[in-house]
Every structure is written in structure tokens, then in C-alpha cells.
Chain A
Amino acid sequence: MPAFKGIFQGKQKFVTVKAGAVQEEAPQGLWTKCGKCGGILYKKELTENLGLCNDCGFHFRLSARERMAITLDTDGFDEYDEELLTVDPLGFPGYDIKMEGARQTTGLDEAIITGKGSIDGYPVLAGFMDFSFIGASMGSVVGEKVTRLFERAARQRVPVVMFCASGGARMQEGMYSLMQMAKTSAACARLSDTRTLYISVLTNPTTAGVFASFGSLGDIIIAEPGALIGFTGQRVIEETIRQKLPPGFQTAEFALEHGLVDMIVDRRNMRKILGLLLAVHGGRRQDVG
């Protein structure tokens, strides 16, 4: 199996992440606290460690740019559709202020970055959702960018890797948002018909409208350890059934146990596994310099 050869030897090329893309979970300052074991972590070290806790391996949430930096090869990323701008189609009170706040804190225009790059030398069309942008909720622009990515992938016959994270549909855009589930799923179904690989990576958290559309439609669905994955929010479920939820409910591990995802992949192995999957699906490796 020559396609496998060399996959694991490829030099890992990680980029230093620019300061400024501050994570929501991490308070300002040099130090931060692990959300799982409570250990005190030096933030610079945390960044170099792919956002993993030194002690317990807890996966901190990453911004879209951080995720991109630890996932893609360094040699070039062509961003797609960055010119798409969100409008306020329903005149929803407070939406413009919320958008402006999100733009300021994240430095992004919307909750997803899409484009073309490569992983371990294999070309991919990739999407990176950013939870700190209004919970990476899907409105018209997120839906359009995802749809265009699938359409491009279908035309180019290049695999898609989508790093999902989302609280669901963006209610401020009303039914336009809900229908993005249908639009993205329809595009995803078409991509599937061209027999082009789509890998969906569910990161913390992937819920509601994104989980119930393109997030769940991967040929292969990967989850990050500990990620919250589910359709309905836990508070709503608790209020409906009037019971405490079992421990570990709606985690990646729960999803794996119940057959909802293919595998859980530690962030340290993510590039390796993605490269392997791209290789077995006939990915043609470009020369890695």
C-alpha cells in the first residue's frame, strides 16, 4: 500500500499562532486554568501545546485561526468568500450591535473561515468554525460559505474537511437561518453524489442546527475528546423530562458509544489521521517542501 508510505514521517509543521486571537475560555493574562482538572497553565505553553492541558489532556476550545494554524500545512491558504457580509434581514432588534461586538472581539467577519489548503501535503477544502463568534451560529453567510465550499469541492473533486462548532441556527435571521440547514445539506448530498470525500470533525460544542445538518453528513465523522455533541440543549431536555441528565451525556465519548460518530481523535493525532484518511481516498500528495 504505497499510499500509506511516509504519512507518519511527514514533518509536523505548525505555525505559531498570532496573539490577539484570544480564546473565550481563557481569561486575559499570562496564566489560565484548566476547565477539567483545574490545573494552572502558562498560556504561551498552552498555545504551543495545541490548546491541550499539560496534566489531563483537556482540549481547550480553539479559535478558527488557531485551528487552521495547527491543522493545515504552512504553505498557503486561499480563503474563499471573505467578501460575504452579514445583513440584518428581519430588522431583528440588537442584531447589528451583537454582530459588531462579535467582529470586534474575534477580528472575524463571520463565524466560519473557508478556503483551500493542504493537510500533510493533501489538498483539501476546509472550513473552520469559531464558537466565540455568536456561538458560531449559522445564519445566511455561514450557510452560504459552507454551501459554496461543498459546491467547489464537487467541481474540483477535492475532499472537504469541516471543523464544526456551533450552538445552532442564528435565530436573529429567523427562517433564513433554519433554511441554511436545508441548503447546506442539499449541497452536501450533491458532493456525496460526486463521490468526493467529506470528513466532518465535531469540536466542542457541535449542537442543534449544525449537528442536524452538515455536521452529521460526513462520510467520516470524527469527534474531539470531551466535545459536547447533540441536538437539543441540555437545559431543555432536563426541563422536559424533569430528571438530571446522566454523567457524560452528549459528550464525544457518549456519541461514540451510541454509534453516532466514527472515532474520537486526540488533537495531537488529528493531522496524522486526516492525512491517512485523505491518502486512502486517493488523495494525490503535493510535494511537501
Chain B
Amino acid sequence: MINLTLEFEKPLIELEKRIQDLREFGVKRGIDLSDEIAILEKKADALRKEIFENLTPWQRIMIARHPKRPTTLEYIDLIFDEFIELHGDRTFRDDGAIVGGIANLAGRPVTVIGTQKGRDTKENIARNFGMPHPEGYRKALRLMKQAEKFRRPIVSFVDVVGAYPGVEAEERGQGLAIACNIAEMAKMATGIIVVITGEGGSGGALAIAVGDKLMMLENAYFSVISPEGCAAILWKDGSRAQEAAEMLKLTAPDLKELGLIDEILPEPQGAAHKDCRAVAGVIREAIIRGIDELSGIPQRRLIERRYARLRRIGEFAVREVPESNLAMVVSGNEDMSAKPDLPDLEEVVEES
């Protein structure tokens, strides 16, 4: 049996159980305990607030990895009015760790892709715990190209611990598949909205997370490396993952502050798995808003805008050049303007 209670929730769960017991006791004995219950409920509300408004990065990761965390297909079912699933990369096989298809969103056709974890052990095995092989990324790219062809916006749901680390995945070019997706998404001539719903595990997540709008659920995370991996490298001790999680700045609020995501989508207190329908409503509303905004932008501008968004990412300093060396340095960089100007795209995109 999987333990569905998170460690930090225990005091709250105990309190909720006490309230429940008290209620049953009152009913059984015919005593009115509503005053006592009200006091405890108030206490529980305060405690819930206290816990969920002060989540540490590690606690958020625990929530993001919760076995009952809603999966992509559950969200798709609640968010879109219709969904026709399409399968396969047309080359090797259909990777169950990636799902995709065409959906109807408030009367508008969209292409949906996403990573898919299993909702139980059996499905998890069939879907390889949501870890894609290269053919999964190629399937996603095939569907995105189809979206581009038929001028549909793309919505991508990301919840993946990482690209599958296996022998066959390497044989079939995991790195090449990821690189190819990233490069193609960067110049895709249609709007792309990315929603990180749970885990954003490094390159395996980035492979479907390049777009015009990057949204994250409140308790999702997006990281260059798993905190366990980071701790193992830094201290040769994977159990110090909690410390690493603090340092990596991987939560939605951290990434919003660093300017790396556009929007945080709120979850109910107690996290997304407590009320999947409510979260789906929030996501749906955000996607519609995002698509409305993007649909007004001409294609060529959209691509320029996406490039500019990626282009500015990175933090560095510029060495001050001593007066005497100035001439030399300038001559060595004669073609570099202060702001990098962008190459022509004449053959790439036609105006929409």
C-alpha cells in the first residue's frame, strides 16, 4: 500500500481525524458538540493555512511527486471539451509516456501533448512511470508539426521526473531527440503554451517545454537536476536532497522571481490532488487567456518574440576593459553590437 499521507501533513490529518471522531461520537450519543467541533475546525483551518502557505521546496517536491497528483490525461479530460488521442512516432512505436492529440477548447481546435504518468502500478508500468524514450519525444514533435501545419495552437503538459535513463533510450538517441524538439519548438510557427503540472525534470521536461507562455502549478517544480542527484554530486550523499532543493531555486515562486516563468497557477490548500476539478478550471482559464493573447500576434512576430524570450536568459557580468586595451578589444569584436541583433529569417516564415 502506498502511503498517501505526506510527512508534514500529519498534524493536520490527526486533527481532522479528531474532528471526525468527535462528530461521530456526538451523533452516537445524541450530544450537541458543535461548539467544540467549530473550535477544532477553526484550529484545523489555521493549521492547514500555516502548513500550505509555508511549504519548503522539498515539501513542494513531495506534493509534485504525490501518487495521487492528477495526471495529464485527467487534466485533458476536465479541461477540453473533446479530445481525440493520436498515437505513435510513425517510425518505431507508440510511447505511452507521452500522450497527444487534437482537442476542442471552447470551440477552438488545439493540439495537446504531454507526459503521462500512471494512475496505478499497472498503468505506471505500461507508461514507464511517465519517463519517455526518444520515440516519445519524436511523437510529440510529430504532433506539434501537425499543429503547425494546420495552424493550431499547442498546449503542452509537463510532469516528468526525467527522460528515461536506459540502454535502448541511448541507442535510439535520447540526446538527439531532446535537442531536436527544443530547436524545432523554438521556431515552431504556431503559439505554444506550456503548463508544468508536477515534475519538471531537466532535459526530459525541457524537450516539451519551450514556448510562448510558461505556466507552473503552485506546487510544481522545474529543475536542472533532481535534488537527489545534486546532493549526490555535491556531498556524495543523496539523502541531503532537502538542502539541495533549497539551493536549486526550483519552485514556481522562485522561478517567477528569477523571471524564468510567466505565471503561477494556484492550487487549493492541500494541493491539486485534493480538488482536481478546481485546478483544471484554473488551468483551462489560463490556457484560454494565453491562446487569446497569442492568437493576435502575427506568426513571424511570434517566433521573434519567442526567440527574444529565450535569448535574454542567463546571468553574467562583463569585464571592464582597461583604457589602454580598449582599441584592441573593440577591433576583436567589431561585429558585435551591445545588443545582439538577430539574423534574417527570410526563408523561414511567411507572415500569417
Instruction: Decide whether A and B are members of one complex.
Output: yes
| Chain A contact residues, majority secondary structure | helix
Q: Whose C-beta in chain A lies nearest to the C-beta of B335?
A: A152
Q: Which of B65-73, B286-294, B315-323 contacts A (4 or more CB under 8 A)?
A: B315-323
Residue A180 is within 8 A (CB to CB) of chain B in the complex: yes
How distant is the Cα of A141 from the Cα of B172 in the complex, in angstroms? Answer: 31
Contact flags A165-196 to B (C-beta < 8 A → 1, else 0): 00001010111111111110111111111110
Contact A177 B224 (CB under 8 A): yes
Residue B275 is within 8 A (CB to CB) of chain A in the complex: no
Task: Say which residue of B203, B234, B317 sits within 8 Å of A181 (CB atoms).
Answer: B203
CB distance from A162 to the nearest CB of B (A): 13
Q: Which of B82-90, B183-191, B263-271 contacts A (4 or more CB under 8 A)?
A: B183-191
CB distance from B189 to the nearest CB of A (A): 12
Residue A86 is within 8 A (CB to CB) of chain B in the complex: yes
Q: Which of A30-38, A239-247, A264-272 contacts B (4 or more CB under 8 A)?
A: A239-247
Interface residues on A, range: 35 or more
Contact flags A205-224 to B (C-beta < 8 A → 1, else 0): 00111011111110000000
Contact B314 A140 (CB under 8 A): yes
Residue B333 is within 8 A (CB to CB) of chain A in the complex: yes
Contact A83 B319 (CB under 8 A): yes
How distant is the Cα of A84 from the Cα of B206 in the complex, in angstroms? Answer: 26
Contact B318 A85 (CB under 8 A): yes
Q: Please report the number of residue pairs spanning A and B whose Cβ atoms sit closer than 8 angstroms.
A: 223
Contact A183 B321 (CB under 8 A): no
Residue A79 is within 8 A (CB to CB) of chain B in the complex: yes
How distant is the Cα of A147 from the Cα of B210 in the complex, in angstroms? Answer: 16
Residue B30 is within 8 A (CB to CB) of chain A in the complex: no
**B residues 227-253 in Cβ contact with A at 8 Å:** 229-230, 233-234, 247-250
Chain B residues with CB under 8 Å of A195's CB are 347
* Known contacts A93-B247, A212-B175, A260-B176; A181/B343 CB under 8 A: no
Contact B310 A179 (CB under 8 A): yes
Contact B170 A212 (CB under 8 A): no
Residues of B participating in the A interface, judged by any CB pair closer than 8 Å: 163, 165-167, 169-176, 178-180, 182-184, 186-187, 202-203, 206-207, 210, 222-225, 229-230, 233-234, 247-250, 255, 258, 260, 306-307, 310-311, 313-319, 321, 329, 332-333, 335-336, 340-345, 347-348
Other A-B pairs, 12, CB within 8 Å; known A187-B311, A215-B179: A86-B317, A171-B248, A181-B206, A183-B310, A185-B182, A208-B175, A212-B178, A231-B163, A231-B170, A246-B167, A258-B171, A258-B172
